[in-house]
Structure 1
């Protein structure tokens, strides 16, 4: 009998193989830690991540449904924004168009009367 076919070696290998398969299918449990944040004052949930500006947004934490969407859209229309927004927008668009025309070397003299 060859040494690698010895029954003791085979039985040891079979047991080891069974342990490996059992441990492979059984996941290790995560450790539990009693973590308390250092500067936690006891108000609210310290692990909840909330953006600083969420309380000012009209679209954050909206309710579902067509009626609620329509109502929030009507409320957004009632809120007046920056009055100079349109003027600022058109100035920026004009500057960008002029920069684009300068880059492509467009001749603006065709718009002037000779």
Structure 2
């Protein structure tokens, strides 16, 4: 067994005795409510695959305001971090 490899979950094909499969989904299927809208869920492709999937999802996102909002929040958090560690921002300005 590899140290860095994750185990796959076992899958069973159990169907209840009195289950009627006409037009209904599987009641035992565990699914997140946003799975059909995301491309990053599913198998674990590794770090490079995760980053590639996340960047593709970011590029193909139809809501550009959300992308801008995420960038603004990330910039503010970076500035707060630099302020906490007492980084001298004057090196960026002449």
Q: TM-score by structure 2 length?
A: 0.36
- The TM-score with structure 1 as length reference comes to 0.32
Larger Rg: 1
More helix by share: 1
The structure with higher relative contact order (CA 8 Å, sep 6+) is 2
